């Protein structure tokens, strides 16, 4: 079974929102313990940057894995052929 793009995005954003809170709480404890003086506003900015990257990464990986799962299984394909197809998918080229 595959997910729609919308469902993939919602799942990724929900997961990342929980991660945002956890990362912020962790930074508020770890940064001072490591001697890194960062304000609360600074912690929010750092967490927001990593969160944006995480959302994009999670969405792209989800779409790639769903694309691979939808393809007709071909036991004769080598690992090299599969990775070449993934690279073509990323580059938005046609895949045979």
- Residue spans of the domains in the chain: they are 5-90
Q: What is the phi-psi region of residue 77: left when phi exceeds 0, alpha when psi lies from -120 to 50, beta otherwise?
A: beta
Using the structure block, give the residue that is written with the tokens 């690992």.
Answer: 79
Going residue by residue through the chain, which has 96 residues, state the pLDDT in tens, using 9 for 90 and above.
Answer: 577 888 988 887 888 889 999 999 999 999 999 999 999 999 999 999 988 888 888 888 878 888 777 776 667 777 787 778 778 878 865 554
Nearest to 23 by CA among 45, 5, 1, 56: 45
pTM of the model as a whole: 0.57
> Which burial class, exposed, middle or buried, applies to 12 when counting CB atoms under 10 A from its CB (0-12, 13-18, 19+)?
buried
């Amino acid at each position: 079974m595959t997910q729609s793009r919308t469902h993939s995005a919602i799942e990724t954003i929900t997961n990342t929102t929980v991660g945002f809170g956890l990362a912020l709480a962790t930074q508020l404890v770890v940064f001072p313990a490591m001697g890194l003086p960062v304000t609360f506003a600074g912690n929010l900015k750092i967490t927001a940057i990593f969160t944006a990257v995480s959302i994009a990464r999670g969405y792209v990986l989800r779409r790639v894995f769903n694309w691979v799962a939808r393809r007709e299984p071909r036991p004769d394909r080598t690992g090299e052929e599969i990775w070449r197809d993934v690279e073509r998918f990323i580059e938005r080229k046609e895949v045979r």
